[in-house]
């Protein structure tokens, strides 16, 4: 048996229960990992609140948690890339999450070797936000040297990573932050910082190639005015589009609903001559391996706001919910 934090029922701001759960049994292509640290993401709160029920149907009781760093203790018969004793990190795939626990079994395709220059806590802070930034900027936007990118909420988990990655790719980077976070985002490489409490970004920025939108619908609509014709607006906070619905294998009714959700913004984007798309990051060990190289070379560094002990997982979740964290919030499991 192992200790784990469990969602007993979908409930807004509901507390997770510390429970004794059976230790996972690895499949043939799984690695069993002893968890040393896990990070807390806004996604955890949204899953717990039931916001993703239609597209990620977890049946309570289930273990929450999407980011992990730890040591491989056992491997399935078909595993070739890892061996017991390897220090690894991962964002386990949807349907198989559960990092707020002492152990997890994950498909080896989702896992990468941990950067050698990071502690377990620092490494756990990376996978979900690192993969999100990589998939937006490298895979979807194909961001190139000399382009201009606007990354919203620069001091948040995704923002702190995305600024560094965009800078590494040779882009000019603008972001929004409060006065208190300006020094942090500049130290990560932001060229232009808009104090969102004083200025409207759409009055300050124009002619951008790419925008990473992580905020609400109002911010999304304003973002269209900042892009140049042919620019790309990529949102990680919704609304989902039909391409996403197809990839998730949703049924026809849900596909129609998803299409309707994004119809307004897609229409506005078309009128403005720009491209709108939604990205829901996916688990990808190969991409995470490339991120390991960036971290080991010093191109990107983790930004960790606070580390909570395992017993205080609920407090860590509440802290992330305040939206005040600079960078990531991590749980030390062992």
CA angle centred on 206, ends 200 and 212, rounded to 5°: 75
Alpha-carbon distance of 207 to 228, in angstroms, equals 4
Alpha-carbon distance of 125 to 90, in angstroms, equals 10
Domains of the chain: 2-125+302-332 (3.90.180.10), 128-278 (3.40.50.720)
Is 53 strand, coil or helix?
coil
Provide the pLDDT for residue 270. Answer: 97
The DSSP call for residue 309 is: E
Q: 139, exposed or middle or buried, with CB in 10 Å at 0-12, 13-18, 19+? A: middle
Alpha-carbon distance of 233 to 77, in angstroms, equals 43
Provide the pLDDT for residue 55. Answer: 85
Provide the pLDDT for residue 155. Answer: 98
Provide the pLDDT for residue 126. Answer: 98
Please name which of 151, 228, 154 lies closest in space to residue 184, comparing C-alpha atoms.
154
Provide the pLDDT for residue 57. Answer: 81
pLDDT in tens, the chain (334 residues): 999 999 999 999 999 999 999 999 999 999 999 999 999 999 999 999 999 988 888 999 999 999 999 999 999 999 999 999 999 999 999 999 999 999 999 999 999 999 999 999 999 999 999 999 999 999 999 999 999 999 999 999 999 999 999 999 999 999 999 999 999 999 999 999 999 999 999 999 999 999 999 999 999 999 999 999 999 999 999 999 989 999 889 999 999 999 999 999 999 999 999 999 999 999 999 999 999 999 999 999 999 999 999 999 999 999 999 999 999 999 999 9
Beta strands in the chain (DSSP E): 2-7, 17-21, 30-40, 62-63, 68-75, 87-90, 103-107, 111-113, 148-151, 172-177, 192-195, 208-213, 227-235, 275-278, 304-309, 328-332
Number of residues assigned to the chain: 334
């Amino acid at each position: 048996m192992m200790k784990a934090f469990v969602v007993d029922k979908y409930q807004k701001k509901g507390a997770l229960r510390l429970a004794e759960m059976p230790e996972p049994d690895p499949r043939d292509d799984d690695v069993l990992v002893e968890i040393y640290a896990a990070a807390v993401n806004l996604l955890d709160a949204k899953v717990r609140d039931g916001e993703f029920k239609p597209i990620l149907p977890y049946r309570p009781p289930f273990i929450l948690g999407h980011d992990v760093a730890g040591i491989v203790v056992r491997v399935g018969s078909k595993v070739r890339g890892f061996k017991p004793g390897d220090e690894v990190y991962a964002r386990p795939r949807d349907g198989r999450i559960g990092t707020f626990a002492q152990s997890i079994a994950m498909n080896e395709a989702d896992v990468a070797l941990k950067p050698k220059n990071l502690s377990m806590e620092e490494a756990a802070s990376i996978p979900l936000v690192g993969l999100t930034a990589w998939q937006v900027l490298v895979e979807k936007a194909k961001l190139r040297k000399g382009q201009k990118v606007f990354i919203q909420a620069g001091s948040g988990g995704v923002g702190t990573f995305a600024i560094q990655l965009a800078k590494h790719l040779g882009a000019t980077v603008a972001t929004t932050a409060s006065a208190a976070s300006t020094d942090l985002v500049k130290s990560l490489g932001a060229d232009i910082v808009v104090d969102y409490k004083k200025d409207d970004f759409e009055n300050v920025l124009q002619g951008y190639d790419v925008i990473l939108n992580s905020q609400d619908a109002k911010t999304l609509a304003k973002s269209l005015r900042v892009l140049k014709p042919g620019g790309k607006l990529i949102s990680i906070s919704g609304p989902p589009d039909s391409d996403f619905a197809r990839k998730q294998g949703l049924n026809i009714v849900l596909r129609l609903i998803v299409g309707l959700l994004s119809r307004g913004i897609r229409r506005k984007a078309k009128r403005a001559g720009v491209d709108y798309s939604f990205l829901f990051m996916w688990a990808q060990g190969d991409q995470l391996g490339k991120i390991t190289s960036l971290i080991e070379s010093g191109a990107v560094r983790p930004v960790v706001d606070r580390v909570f002990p395992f017993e205080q997982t609920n407090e860590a979740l509440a802290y992330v919910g305040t939206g005040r964290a600079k960078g990531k919030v991590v749980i030390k499991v062992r």
